[in-house]
Amino acid sequence: MCINFPQLLSQFIGPGMMALILGCCGVSTAQALDTASLNWVMSNEKGGELMLEVRQLLLSKALDAVAGKIHVPIHYSALPEELVTATCKGNALKQVLECLLDKKADLIFRYQTGSANVDGERLVAEAWVLGPKTNKAAANLESPTVAGMTGKGSHAFPASRKVRKALPDRTDELLAKSQSTIPDERVEAIAALLTGGRKGDSDVKAQLEQALTDRDPNVRAQAISSLSHREGSDANGYIQQALLDSSEDVRIMAVEGIVDDVALLQQAASDSDESVRSLAQIKLELLTQNGNNNP
């Protein structure tokens, strides 16, 4: 008997909860893990389909939950802050993530060497969600490391631009919160300053600069991400500094912030960490291909 898990779960899943279902039908050998907010069923049969249902959840929370269950690192920095409701289907992780992001950001994948699932799909070793300033043409390149938007499903971001513009100025509140003794609160405030901080405000810039030397690597990683997105190419000096950070997470966020500086990417391509090297090499490849396609 085939049970319609999405329909069944919809009766129990409330706002802020998430269900992840793999191989809903035709499961002969399955492993099930149940938590308060996530359900997971893995099928070993050919043709098993992965389905992801997200209801009124921040995109970052959805990505974190998926990464935790599949044990595949998913790196991201700036993401839309709206709550997302999505139903995504696919035969591989790549398709589901493409659907979940709904073209709000670019995806880059690193695949496991010589590996594939029962359907012949290459297995993802690592994924990066790149910010909106990445060249969108990169998503359509015929490259094994670049994702095309081919996932199936429905997607909705309830909040609109008008709603976001109507939000009150929180700059002073966020600046104060960025001085919190709790690292997670500092990370949250630094992230929110990306879009919630007054444009061109010297105090915001100074606080982001200060956060680059924070004792917590998560704060430093978020600081370079926010700075690079706010300052654009003017952030290259900060990126240069972040590429020397002791934390690979900070260095990954620094590489993510590089737009078209080949020298910085080449520096990162010789990093001691494989993830940093991989992302830098992929971005170098994209720059080369974009240059060839746009003489």
Tens digit of each residue's pLDDT (9 = 90 or more) over 70-129: 778 888 766 777 777 878 777 778 888 888 888 777 787 777 766 665 556 677 777 888
Same-domain check for residues 13 and 117: yes
Same-domain check for residues 179 and 111: no
Q: How does pLDDT run across 243-259, given as a tens digit for each residue?
A: 999 999 899 989 988 98
For 113, residues 6+ apart whose C-beta sits below 8 A from its C-beta are: none
* Per-residue pLDDT band at 67 (split at 50, 70, 90): confident
Same-domain check for residues 181 and 219: yes
Residues 169 and 199: their CA atoms lie apart, in Å, by 11
What is the reported pTM? Answer: 0.59
Same-domain check for residues 19 and 135: yes
Residue 214 scores a pLDDT above 60? yes
Residue 28 lies in a domain: yes
In terms of residue numbers, what domain contains 213? Answer: 168-293
- What CATH number did the domain enclosing 283 receive? 1.25.10.10
Q: How does pLDDT run across 42-60, given as a tens digit for each residue?
A: 444 555 567 788 777 788 8
For residue 9, what pLDDT is reported?
Answer: 36
* Per-residue pLDDT band at 38 (split at 50, 70, 90): very low
Residue 204 lies in a domain: yes
Residue 231 lies in a domain: yes
Q: How does pLDDT run across 175-195, given as a tens digit for each residue?
A: 999 999 999 899 889 988 887
Same-domain check for residues 12 and 152: yes
Length of the chain: 295
Same-domain check for residues 112 and 182: no
For residue 102, what pLDDT is reported?
Answer: 82
Same-domain check for residues 113 and 9: yes
For 86, residues 6+ apart whose C-beta sits below 8 A from its C-beta are: 52, 53, 54, 62, 99, 100, 102, 153, 154, 155, 156
Same-domain check for residues 204 and 148: no
For residue 132, what pLDDT is reported?
Answer: 54
Average pLDDT over residues 227-237: 90
Q: Are strands 122-130 and 50-58 parallel, antiparallel or unpaired?
A: unpaired
Report long-range pairs for 120-125 (Cβ below 8 Å, ≥24 apart).
Answer: 121/91, 121/92, 121/94, 122/92, 124/72, 124/92, 124/93, 124/94, 125/72
Residue 230 lies in a domain: yes
- Give the relative orientation of helices 183-196 and 202-211 as an angle to the nearest 10 degrees: 140
Same-domain check for residues 54 and 14: yes
Number of domains observed in the structure of the chain: 2
Residue 163 lies in a domain: no
Strongest mean pLDDT among 111-125, 129-143, 199-213, 219-233: 199-213
Residues 160 and 23: their CA atoms lie apart, in Å, by 34
For residue 244, what pLDDT is reported?
Answer: 97
Do 23 and 43 touch, CB atoms closer than 8 A? yes
What's the whole-number average pLDDT of the chain? 71
